């Protein structure tokens, strides 16, 4: 997809951080924008800021982990804009802690938002894009945590790896069509991610109060410090836009982890050397006369 002008984007988690950066980058390119987000107050401000710069924008309160809520949000965007050409599966959350200590409900929350949220989007918008037949694109915000283990924890890393795998399968399934597929793997982008527990729905345990959760408080302090030095989300959005124009499956924000990823792949490749080097011991044949 190279022509953005007059087309419509549906961006989950669009009220803040990277989602809003994507919205601003695509608004600059002349797109109409639907922001779908669970945080109503942030949505109001985000939509107002887009409209102030002359963009046709709507905000839709939605929980991407809930398929019925997602369906209603998609219907609203489609009744406002008629067609959607760009889907940004961007909403994401993390719960840190050791794998064996994280509550079942937090596993369900993270998998629900990061992975099922993406799947709900694909199940609605791929058939829609195929039906209208115009050049379209799907970009999903994974993370460097989709490329190597992350300090953001097991549920986050597992879902971000899954988003990469799902995007690679989707690219194969849509090969030869005019629907492009990208997976965005950013590193450190300024956002409200450190305090993402603010948006945990009641069915997964409700908003996380750092004053009552020392683990969450420590996580917010560490991640906020790191996040302050992050990339401007608008620049992240512009990098994604360029990746889509060049039909890139993988889009990165930073080059500084190239060596870490190369080391990981080299460790994987060396496991194949083990396969080649290993000669299984041949089981001695029992003699016919033995015993």
- Residues with a catalytic annotation lie at 156
Q: Please report whether residue 167 would count as binding ligand NAD according to CB under 6 A.
A: no
Q: Does 15 participate in binding ligand NAD (rule CB under 6 A)?
A: yes
What are the C-alpha distances in Å from 87 to residues 124, 143, 192?
10, 17, 22
Contact window for ligand NAD (CB under 6 A) among 22-30, 61-69, 78-86, 165-173: 61-69
35 near ligand NAD (CB under 6 A): no
* Residue 243, SS3 per DSSP: helix
Residue (180 or 197) nearer to ligand NAD, CB: 197
Cα dihedral sign, 246-248-254-256: negative
* Residue 237 lies near ligand NAD (rule: CB under 6 A): no
Rounded least distance, CB 27 to ligand NAD, Å: 16
Q: How far is the CB of 235 from ligand NAD (least distance, A)?
A: 12
Residue 11 near ligand NAD by CB under 6 A: no
> Binding of ligand NAD at residue 121 (CB under 6 A)?
no
143 is an interface residue for ligand NAD by CB under 6 A: yes
Would you list the DSSP string of 54-120? T--EEEEE--TTSHHHHHHHHHHHHHHHS---EEEE-------S-TTTS-HHHHHHHIIIIIIHHHH
93 part of the interface to ligand NAD, by CB under 6 A? yes
Residue 124 in the binding site for ligand NAD (CB under 6 A): no
Least Å distance, CB 69 to ligand NAD, is: 8
Q: Taking the CA atoms of 154, 155, 160 and 165 in sequence, report the sign of the dihedral they define.
A: positive
Helices (H), the chain: 17-28, 40-52, 67-81, 104-110, 117-132, 154-173, 214-228, 233-245, 258-277
* Interface with ligand NAD (CB under 6 A): 12-13, 15-19, 37-39, 42, 62-65, 90-93, 113, 141, 143, 186, 188-189, 191-193, 196, 199, 230
């Amino acid at each position: 997809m190279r022509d953005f002008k007059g087309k419509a984007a549906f961006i989950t988690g669009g009220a803040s951080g990277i989602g809003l950066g994507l919205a601003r980058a695509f608004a600059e390119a002349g797109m109409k924008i639907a922001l779908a987000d669970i945080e109503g107050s942030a949505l109001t401000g985000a939509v107002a800021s887009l409209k102030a710069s002359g963009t046709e924008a709507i905000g839709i309160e939605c929980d991407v982990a809930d398929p019925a809520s997602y369906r209603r949000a998609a219907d609203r965007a489609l009744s406002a804009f008629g067609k959607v050409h760009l889907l940004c599966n961007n909403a994401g959350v993390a719960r840190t802690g050791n794998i064996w200590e994280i509550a079942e409900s937090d596993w369900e929350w993270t998998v629900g938002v990061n992975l099922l949220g993406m799947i709900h989007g694909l199940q609605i918008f791929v058939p829609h894009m195929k039906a209208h037949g115009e050049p379209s694109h799907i970009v999903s915000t994974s993370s460097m945590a989709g490329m190597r283990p992350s300090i953001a924890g097991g549920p986050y890393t597992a879902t971000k790896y899954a988003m990469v795998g799902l995007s690679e399968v989707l690219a194969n399934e849509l090969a030869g069509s005019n629907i492009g597929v990208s997976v965005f793997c950013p590193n450190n982008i300024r956002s409200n991610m450190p305090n993402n527990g603010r948006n945990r729905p009641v069915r997964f345990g409700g908003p996380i109060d750092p004053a009552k959760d020392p683990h969450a408080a420590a996580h917010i302090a560490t991640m906020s410090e790191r996040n302050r030095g992050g990339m401007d989300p608008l620049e992240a959005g512009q990098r994604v836009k360029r990746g889509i124009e060049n039909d890139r499956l993988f889009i990165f924000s930073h080059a500084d982890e190239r060596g870490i990823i190369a080391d990981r792949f080299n460790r994987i490749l060396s496991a194949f050397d083990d396969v080649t080097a290993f000669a299984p011991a041949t089981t001695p044949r029992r003699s016919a006369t033995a015993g």
